[in-house]
């Protein structure tokens, strides 16, 4: 009799274990699940947010930009009749201010999720040049590519962590709408028909990024108090970063200086 | 214990009697064993002894006869004259030879005397040079060593040399002198050897002539050869004579299997080429033996000489060709393998070509085996292949089915992949880190590429399907079209009276009851298509139709007339009674283009598509070889009738004329009972079951049964099927006793209980194996219908079947050539499939069907299609491929031949698949031993002077070229009988053309092109007629000049030759406007 009781007890315990182990498999969501669909971690208190501003400059002599020969595409060459088109690789403003630099928060945001802006980010193809040369947008945000030229372009982003695509766009064709699913700084874009055309797309999972214009200034607003790594990326000079701590409602200023390579590069 | 007085068995009983008997028995047994040892189990011993004695007698008789013959030849004036010439030549060269020999002796003596000293001197010099060269350049040591070299060279040697006049001269020479003399002597020695050969040559050449003369005159073997044979016969060892060939790659495990052990020559001693050379033919008569005597000594007949050259008996033995059990030597029955369980018995005389099939089973046509070839052709042509699979024979249905399944499977995989791709992309978008994301994206990309590969694969299979749809042919007509083609009442009549209505038909006679006939007819009628309706045609001109029928080449395949009046080919149907059954409009369509279908067949939907399917996609109802995609799924459709009948490219008017004439071909009193039952829908299902049961779909295309398999036994190795597996049914005992199926007649070869007997009786009347059996269900009866075959056909078919055995020999014996012979092997399948030999001579000695018709005898031979024996050497293979695809050589002007538009007989369009064209082109190239691929040789361009000369010759009255050859001028071409020269460059090979113009009769006996246009002078061909003045002093070859001119001829040049206005000659060769 006793043995039988023992048996029942053992079986029950075993059964219970089985159920527990099965159950745990089913119920526990993976801790490291991607944040894309997860709800916002802790809402940002807009009353305490601060900002980081500053400027980007280049140190050293920068060679004057090379001219682009568009003879292969007369309709585009005509669009630049006044001023010959030049390479956009390094665009320097007054006081060595550096344009086309993406400045963004690299670390410190944590797992927070943000709403994706409804408005698309646009790239125009005008006179066989991309305008703007560098764009930044959030993952999942629409990118709108327009063709203002009288020629067919192809838009061919070559990402490392995103899906590659390559679409042609005839003159007058509707804008191409695309998205990138994953953050990546930065995705080179080229047009295989017009090899001089080049653009970069920086993709983020938060809204703390900006692209400098010719004045080299940047301002990252609405940052909740915390310690951040701010990074600046330039297509030719690479990246440079600084760490900064922001208190409630604090505004801080930092500057980035890229070193130009010795002449002749 | 008291002593008993009973008899002691040991003392009182004697075993002497039993022992005596035992001893006697033992003695008998010993005697018996001795008898068996020497005679009983060794019948070959007595055969060999007898052979040795009769053969020796024969040889002894022959030796004086042959000796006398030899003497006669040697004493003949011609021989003597030649022999004298040899002697004279030898006498002439004798002094010269003697001089050479004296000189040779002198030089040899002088060399011998010089040799030692020279070698010593050379050794010293070489050693000194070596010593010097191993010292550093410019060093003192080197300088001093070089001095040594000089010393060695300066050293003098005394020697005694023989001189020319026989004396001895003493000389003191240094190294340079020695070296010079030695080399001079060596060179002279070599020159003398050559001179000697030269001096001997005239006599040697004459001697060769003598030998050739003797060989030519001498019939049979010489006395010397015969004496050798006699010696061999007299000293013959009585022993087992065995041919043993082991397979090259035999391992320890298959030892004893495979390989070849033949002991046939132990009895058939005369077949041993060492004893009876191939040049000697030995018969019983020669050996003075009675015709009925059991004496297996005959050698191979003279007709086998060619075969034996290819099949050396030392390698092939006997049984691979003749059958039998090569190892057995204890009795005739065993050796011949004619006992119940031996699967490869000796072939009977009428079937002996079965042996060829054993190794040549992949050939459609085997040289030297006409009976076997006929058997194979019958197997295909009579539709046996419709029910019986046979490896190597037309397997397009199976391949089509396999292709379709492959497409289905690939498309399923594509669907799965297409579902998987977005899933992987999404997984990448949501991946926790970049490495995983990159992996997912890469997987998605790979799958995308895989899908694209699947598309490529499907496209390839579709293309193959397209080829297969062109290649697949059915023996019988498409039954889907019956309702549009055939008179309704005729169908049930035909089913019952197949061989009466058309005594030469391929269709076998099925054993159907009256009810079964009704059901089958009703099914055929109701399952056939009813539209879209045929175009209606006005009646044509029957008289013109008859002329067309007789001149366009229809009779190469079809026959016309009944009984004794029957004329034409047996490849296709006899058309004598077509008028009783065919619909006029259908016949017009058929003659205009036999490949045209009423509806295309979609193998994926398994149905014939109609206009409504095309309309759904906004497409016109147009389907042909250029529009063969399915409007619904894009895959290949069957857009052709699966008939081998080609398109003769007749105009619709001509087609009407022919059809009108054909419809007059009928029996005036033909009457058919009305057949209303054919519309009875209840009969349809019953008919379907019967049609399936009897395998009608093997030969006919039938709606719903397109994928039906073959219903008969596979016959690939039927010849060696064990006898118990052949169902003799109730005739087993009769067969063993040698009573024929009629129950009365005795079989001429006694027991017919073997494969041969089974096949012969089955082919003669398949119903016999149902004889006496009670089968309740009529469908249980044997299904094989009675084939329409003659006794000769049966012999051919049985020969083919008996040779189709499970191969016993090592695989390397099977004829699977890897060189050009493979192209020939493959080509024959296509050539026989389309009956090319109905119109053309393809190989030496073969006659085409047309050639035998009265219409093409005598003068009319020039109206025959071209002989193709040297086609591979004649034409550029690329041109041939284009020509085969489009024999009109034009897309617009098609009612004519592309090359010989003057011929009335028409080269039709076969719509070959690309593969078939390749096989035909390679076949012709291989038949003429042409190298593949063909690179046209570069011809030396004509100089202006040469062009002027050639032009002058072409237009001179002495060269009649342009009288017969077409020029593109319609007025002229009406009477032309040869192709346009403009075609030469693309079409012909220059080397062949040169051979052709110098002696065309050699290539095509009976050709209209005259021989003797050129004659040989020295190393070049000279035009035989009066030459234009410009030829004076020309050192080149005239034939070569004309060939080069032809190959560089332009339309302008041709116009200037004929002096025509350029307007009349527009078009040239490609679209030469031959008027009709």
* pLDDT tens sequence across B191-219: 999 999 888 888 888 889 888 888 888 88
Residue A138 three-state SS: strand
For residues B531 and B528, give the distance between their C-alpha atoms in angstroms, rounded to a whole number.
9
Q: For the ranges A51-60, A192-201, B823-832, B1066-1075, which has the lowest average pLDDT?
A: B1066-1075
A166 CB near a chain B CB, below 8 Å? no
Q: How far is A181 from chain B (nearest CA, A)?
A: 5
Contact A161 B444 (CB under 8 A): no
Query: SS in 3 state form for B653-714?
Result: HHHHHHHHHHCCCCCCCCCCCCCHHHHCCHHHHHHHHHHHHCCHHHCCCCCCCCCCCCCCCC
Q: What angle do CA B153, B157, B159 make, to 5 degrees?
A: 145
Going from the C-alpha of B875 to that of each of B98, B886, B1003, the distances in angstroms are 58, 15, 13
- Tell me what pLDDT residue A35 has: 41
Cα-flanking dihedrals φ and ψ of residue B170, to 5°? -100, 125
* A183 interaction partners in chain B (CB closer than 8 Å): none
Contact B430 A34 (CB under 8 A): yes
Q: Between vectors from CA B726 to CA B721 and to CA B732, what angle results, nearest 5°?
A: 135
The DSSP line for B348-410 is PGGGTTHHHHHH-TT-SS-TT-HHHHHHHHHHHHTTHHHHS--TTS--HHHHHHHHHHHHHHH
**Tens digits of per-residue pLDDT, B495-505?**
999 999 999 99
Nearest chain B Cα distance for residue A180, angstroms:
8
Give burial (CB, 10 Å; 0-12/13-18/19+) of B858.
Answer: exposed
CB-based burial label for B239 (10 Å; 0-12, 13-18, 19+):
exposed
CA atoms within 13 A on the CB side of B72: 10
Percent of chain A residues topping a pLDDT of 70: 83
Question: Would you mind telling me the total number of residues written for chain A in this entry?
Answer: 265
pLDDT band at B322 (very low <50, low <70, confident <90, very high): very high
Interface predicted TM-score (ipTM) over 0.95: no
Contact call for A182 and B429, based on CB within 8 A:
yes
Q: What is the pLDDT of residue B5?
A: 62
Residue B439, number of CB atoms within 10 A of its CB: 14
**Residue B956 clears pLDDT 80, i.e. is over it:** no
pLDDT-based confidence at B254, cuts 50/70/90? very low
* Model confidence pTM above 0.80: no
Determine whether the interchain pair B431/A34 forms a contact, defined as Cβ–Cβ distance below 8 Å: yes
Taking an 8 Å cut-off on Cβ atoms, the answer to whether B428 and A37 are in contact is no
Omega prior to A3 cis, within 30 of 0? no
Question: If pLDDT is split at 50, 70 and 90, which confidence band does B729 have?
Answer: confident
Do residues B333 and B346 touch, judged by C-beta distance below 8 A?
Answer: no
Instruction: Tell me whether B441 touches chain A (CB under 8 Å).
Output: yes
Q: Chain A residues with CB inside 8 Å of B430's CB?
A: 34, 36-37, 181
Flag whether pLDDT at B1070 surpasses 80: no
A33-42, B244-253, B443-452, B961-970 — most confident range: B443-452
Tell me the chain A residues in contact with residue B437 when contact means C-beta distances shorter than 8 Å.
Answer: 161-162, 182
Interface check B432 vs A, CB under 8 A:
yes
**Mean per-residue pLDDT for B142-155?**
88
Task: Check pLDDT > 50 for residue B354.
Answer: yes
Cis peptide before B656 (omega within 30 of 0): no
Distance (Å, whole) CA B688 – CA B528: 12
- CA distance linking residue B177 with residue B35, whole number of Å: 86
Overall residue count recorded for chain B in this entry: 1076
Interchain CB contact of B439 with A (< 8 Å): no
Give me B328's structure tokens: 């057995």
pLDDT at position A23 is 42
| B-chain residues near A37 (CB < 8 A) | 430
Cβ B431–A182 below 8 Å, yes or no?
yes
Contacts 24+ apart (CB under 8 A), B415-423: B417/B447, B417/B450, B417/B451, B417/B454, B418/B451, B420/B447, B421/B447, B421/B448, B421/B451
Average pLDDT of the residues in B250-271? 72
For B432, the closest of A32, A160, A162 (CB atoms) is A32
The predicted pLDDT at position B1059 comes to 65
DSSP H/E element including A229: strand A226-234
Q: CB distance from B90 to chain A under 8 Å?
A: no
Give the DSSP letter of residue B39. Answer: I
Mean pLDDT of chain B: 88
Cβ-Cβ contacts under 8 Å, B428 against chain A:
163, 181-182
Work out the average pLDDT over B91-107: 89
| B257 and A CB contact within 8 Å | no
Asked if A163 reaches chain B (Cβ–Cβ under 8 Å), the answer is yes
Task: Give alpha helix (H) positions in B472-604.
Answer: 482-485, 490-496, 498-501, 514-527, 542-551, 584-592
pLDDT of B6 above 90? no
What is the strand order of the sheet A121-126 is part of?
A129-131, A121-126, A143-147, A176-178
CB of B438 less than 8 A from some CB of A? yes
Q: Which of B556, B581, B583, B587 is nearest to B570 (CA)?
A: B556
Say yes or no for a CB contact (<8 Å) between A36 and B430.
yes
Alpha-carbon distance of B266 to B264, in angstroms, equals 5
| Å between A208 CA and nearest CA of chain B | 21
pLDDT tens readout for residues B778-834: 788 899 999 999 999 999 999 999 999 988 788 888 899 988 999 999 999 999 999
> Is B792's Cβ below 8 Å from some Cβ in A?
no
> pLDDT tens digits for B668-696?
888 898 889 999 999 999 999 999 999 99
Q: How confident is the model at residue A130 (pLDDT cuts 50, 70, 90)?
A: very high
Measured CA to CA in angstroms, residue B450 lies from A121, B416, B453, B655, B917 at distances of 34, 11, 5, 51, 33
Q: Sign of the CA dihedral B979, B981, B987, B993?
A: positive
- CB of A32 within 8 Å of any CB in chain B? yes
Rounded distance, CA B717 to CA A256, Å?
89
What would the pLDDT profile of B501-550 be if each residue is shown by its tens digit?
999 999 999 999 899 999 999 999 999 999 888 999 999 999 999 999 99
Handedness of CA B1027, B1031, B1034, B1037 (dihedral sign): negative
Chain B nearest-CA distance from A162, in A, is 7
CA distance B439 to chain A (A): 9
Looking up tokens 């140190």 gives A59
Size of interface A-B (CB pairs under 8 A): 30
Closest CB to A34: pick one of B425, B432, B445.
Answer: B432
Of A37, A161, A164, the CB nearest to B437: A161
Quote the tokens at residue B1053. Answer: 């040049």
Residues with Cβ within 8 Å of B493's Cβ and at least 6 positions away in sequence, in order, are B501, B672, B673
Across the interface, whether the CB atoms of B430 and A37 are under 8 A apart is answered yes
Is A160 an interface residue toward B (CB < 8 Å)? yes
* Listed residue (A199, A192, A77, A93) closest to A137, CA to CA: A199
Q: Which residue of A has its CA nearest to B442?
A: A163
Which of B428, B430, B432 is facing A163, going by the closest CB pair?
A: B428
Could you give the CA distance from residue B30 to residue B37 in angstroms, rounded to a whole number?
Answer: 10
What is the band of B489 on the pLDDT scale with cuts at 50, 70, 90? very high
| Percent of chain B scoring above 90 in pLDDT | 49
* pLDDT for residue B25: 95
> Which of B819, B820, B829, B816 shows the shortest CA–CA distance to B916?
B829
Question: What are the structure tokens assigned to B319, written together?
Answer: 């049984």
- Confirm if B229 and B282 have CB atoms less than 8 A apart: no
| Collapsed DSSP state (helix, strand, coil) of residue B715 | coil
**Ranges of H-type helices in B235-318:** 305-310, 313-316
Q: Can you tell me the distance from the alpha carbon of B347 to that of B372, in angstroms, rounded to the nearest whole number?
A: 13
Q: Does A29 touch chain B (CB under 8 A)?
A: no
Bridge partners (DSSP) listed for residue B82: none
B445 contacts in A (CB within 8 Å)?
A: 164
List b or e across B460-473, with b for residues whose CB sees 16 or more CB atoms inside 10 angstroms: ebbebbbbbbbbbb
Nearest to B760 by CA among B721, B787, B733: B787
CB of B261 within 8 Å of a chain A CB? The answer is: no
Q: Give per-residue pLDDT as tens, B897-911.
A: 888 888 899 999 999
Closest CB from A33, A37, A161 relative to B434: A161
């Amino acid at each position: 009799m006793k043995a039988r009781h023992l048996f029942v007890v053992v079986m029950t315990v075993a059964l219970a274990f089985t159920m527990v182990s099965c159950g745990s498999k089913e119920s526990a969501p993976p801790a490291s699940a991607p944040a894309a669909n997860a709800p916002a971690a802790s809402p940002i208190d807009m009353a305490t947010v601060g900002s980081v501003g500053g400027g980007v400059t280049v140190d050293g002599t920068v060679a004057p930009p090379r001219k682009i020969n568009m003879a292969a595409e007369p309709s585009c060459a005509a669009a630049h009749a006044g001023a010959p088109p030049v390479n956009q690789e390094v665009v320097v403003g007054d006081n060595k201010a550096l344009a086309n630099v993406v400045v963004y928060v690299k670390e410190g945001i944590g797992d927070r999720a943000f709403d994706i802006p409804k408005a698309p980010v646009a790239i125009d193809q005008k006179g066989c040049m991309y305008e703007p040369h560098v764009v930044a947008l959030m993952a999942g945000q629409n990118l709108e590519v327009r063709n203002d030229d009288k020629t067919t372009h192809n838009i061919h982003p070559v990402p490392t962590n995103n899906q590659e695509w390559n679409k042609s766009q005839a003159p007058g064709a509707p804008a191409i709408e695309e998205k990138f699913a994953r953050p990546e700084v930065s995705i080179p874009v080229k047009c295989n028909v017009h090899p001089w055309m080049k653009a970069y797309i920086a993709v983020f999972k938060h809204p703390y990024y900006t692209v400098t214009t010719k004045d080299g200034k940047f301002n990252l607003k609405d940052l909740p108090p915390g310690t951040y790594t701010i990074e600046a990326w330039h297509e030719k000079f690479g990246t440079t970063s600084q760490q900064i701590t922001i208190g409630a409602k604090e505004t801080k200023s930092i500057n980035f200086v890229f070193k130009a390579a010795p002449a002749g590069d | 214990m008291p002593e008993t007085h009973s008899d002691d068995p040991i003392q009182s009983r004697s075993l002497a009697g039993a022992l005596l008997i035992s001893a006697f028995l033992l003695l008998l047994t010993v005697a018996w064993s001795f008898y068996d040892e020497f005679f009983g189990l060794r019948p070959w011993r007595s055969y060999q002894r007898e052979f040795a004695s009769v053969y020796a007698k024969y040889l002894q008789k022959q030796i004086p006869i042959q000796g006398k013959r030899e003497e006669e030849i040697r004493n003949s004036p011609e021989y003597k004259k030649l022999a004298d010439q040899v002697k004279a030549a030898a006498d002439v060269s004798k002094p010269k030879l003697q001089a050479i020999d004296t000189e040779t002796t002198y030089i040899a003596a002088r060399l011998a005397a010089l040799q030692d000293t020279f070698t010593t001197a050379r050794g010293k010099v070489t050693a000194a040079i070596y010593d010097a060269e191993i010292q550093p350049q410019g060093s003192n040591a080197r300088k001093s060593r070089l001095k040594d070299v000089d010393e060695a060279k300066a050293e003098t040697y005394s020697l005694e040399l023989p001189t020319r006049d026989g004396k001895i001269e003493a000389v003191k020479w240094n190294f340079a002198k020695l070296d010079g003399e030695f080399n001079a002597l060596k060179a002279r020695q070599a020159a003398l050897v050559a001179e000697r050969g030269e001096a001997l040559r005239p006599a040697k050449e004459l001697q060769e002539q003598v030998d050739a003369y003797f060989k030519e005159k001498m019939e049979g073997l010489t006395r010397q050869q015969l004496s050798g044979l006699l010696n061999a016969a007299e000293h013959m060892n009585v022993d087992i004579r065995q041919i043993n060939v082991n397979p090259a790659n035999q391992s320890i495990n298959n030892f004893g299997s495979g390989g070849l052990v033949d002991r046939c020559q132990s009895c058939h001693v005369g077949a041993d080429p060492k004893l009876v050379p191939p040049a000697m033919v030995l018969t019983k008569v020669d050996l003075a033996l009675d015709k009925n005597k059991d004496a297996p000594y005959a050698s191979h007949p003279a007709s086998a000489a060619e075969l034996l050259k290819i099949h050396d008996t030392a390698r092939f033995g006997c049984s691979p060709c003749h059958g039998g059990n090569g190892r057995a030597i204890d009795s005739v029955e065993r050796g011949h393998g004619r006992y119940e369980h031996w699967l490869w018995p000796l072939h009977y005389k009428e079937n002996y070509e079965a042996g060829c099939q054993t190794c040549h089973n992949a050939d459609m046509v085997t040289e030297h085996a006409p009976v076997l070839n006929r058997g194979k052709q019958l197997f295909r042509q009579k539709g046996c292949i419709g029910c019986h699979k046979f490896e190597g024979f037309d397997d397009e249905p199976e391949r089509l089915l396999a292709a379709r399944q492959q497409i289905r499977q690939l498309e399923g995989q594509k669907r799965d992949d297409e579902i998987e791709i977005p899933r992987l992309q999404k997984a990448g978008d949501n991946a926790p880190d970049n490495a995983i994301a990159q992996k997912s994206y890469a997987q998605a990309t790979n799958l995308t590429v895989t899908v694209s590969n699947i598309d490529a694969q499907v496209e390839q299979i579709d293309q193959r399907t397209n080829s297969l749809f062109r290649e697949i042919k059915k023996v019988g007509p498409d039954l889907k079209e019956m309702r549009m083609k055939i008179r309704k009442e005729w169908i049930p009549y035909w089913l019952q009276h197949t061989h009466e209505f058309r005594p030469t038909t391929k269709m076998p006679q099925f054993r159907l009851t009256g009810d079964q006939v009704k059901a089958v007819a009703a099914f055929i009628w109701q399952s056939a298509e009813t539209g879209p309706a045929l175009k209606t045609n006005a009646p044509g001109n029957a008289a013109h139709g008859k002329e067309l029928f007789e001149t366009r080449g229809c009779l190469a395949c079809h026959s016309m007339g009944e009984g004794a009046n029957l004329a034409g080919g047996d490849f296709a149907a006899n058309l004598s009674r077509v008028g009783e059954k065919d619909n006029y409009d259908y016949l017009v369509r058929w003659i205009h283009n036999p490949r045209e279908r009423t509806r295309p067949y979609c193998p994926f939907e398994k149905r014939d598509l109609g206009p409504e399917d095309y309309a759904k996609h906004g497409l016109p109802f147009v389907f042909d070889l250029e529009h063969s995609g399915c409007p619904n799924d894009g895959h290949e459709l069957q857009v052709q009738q699966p008939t081998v009948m080609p398109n003769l490219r007749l105009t619709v008017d001509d087609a009407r004329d022919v059809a009108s004439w054909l419809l007059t071909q009928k029996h005036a009193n033909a009457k058919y009972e009305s057949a209303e039952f054919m519309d009875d829908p209840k009969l349809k299902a019953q008919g379907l079951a019967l049609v399936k049961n009897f395998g009608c779909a093997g030969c006919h295309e039938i709606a719903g049964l397109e994928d039906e398999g073959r219903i008969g036994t596979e016959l690939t190795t039927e010849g060696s099927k064990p006898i118990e597996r052949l169902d003799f049914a109730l005739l087993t005992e009769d067969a063993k006793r040698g009573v024929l199926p009629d129950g009365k007649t005795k079989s001429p070869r006694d027991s017919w209980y073997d494969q041969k007997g089974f096949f012969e009786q089955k082919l003669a009347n398949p119903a016999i194996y149902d004889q006496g059996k009670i089968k309740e269900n009529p469908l249980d009866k044997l299904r094989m219908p009675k084939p329409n075959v003659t006794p000769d056909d049966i012999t051919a078919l049985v020969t083919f079947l008996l040779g189709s055995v499970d191969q016993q020999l090592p695989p390397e014996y099977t004829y699977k050539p890897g060189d050009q012979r493979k192209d020939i092997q493959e080509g024959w399948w296509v050539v026989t499939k389309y009956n090319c030999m109905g119109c053309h001579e393809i190989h030496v000695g073969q006659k085409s069907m047309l050639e035998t018709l009265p219409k093409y005898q005598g003068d009319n031979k020039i109206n025959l299609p071209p002989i193709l024996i040297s086609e591979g050497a004649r034409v550029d293979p690329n041109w041939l491929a284009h020509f085969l695809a489009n024999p009109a050589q034009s897309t617009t002007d098609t009612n004519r031949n592309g090359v010989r538009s003057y011929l009335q007989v028409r080269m039709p369009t076969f719509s070959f698949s690309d593969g078939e064209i390749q096989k035909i082109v390679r076949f012709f190239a291989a038949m003429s031993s042409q190298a593949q691929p063909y690179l046209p040789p570069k011809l030396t361009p004509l100089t202006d002077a040469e062009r002027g000369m050639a032009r002058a010759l072409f237009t001179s009255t002495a060269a009649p070229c342009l009288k017969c050859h077409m020029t593109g001028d319609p007025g002229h071409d009406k009477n032309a009988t040869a192709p346009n020269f403009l075609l030469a460059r693309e079409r012909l090979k220059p080397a062949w053309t040169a051979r052709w113009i110098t002696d065309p009769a050699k290539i095509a006996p009976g050709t209209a092109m005259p021989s003797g246009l050129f004659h040989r002078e020295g190393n070049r061909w000279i035009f035989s007629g009066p030459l234009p003045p410009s030829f004076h002093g020309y050192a080149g070859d005239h034939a070569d000049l004309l060939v080069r001119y032809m190959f560089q001829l332009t339309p302008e040049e041709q116009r200037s030759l004929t002096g025509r206005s350029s307007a009349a000659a527009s078009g040239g060769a490609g679209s030469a406007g031959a008027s009709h």
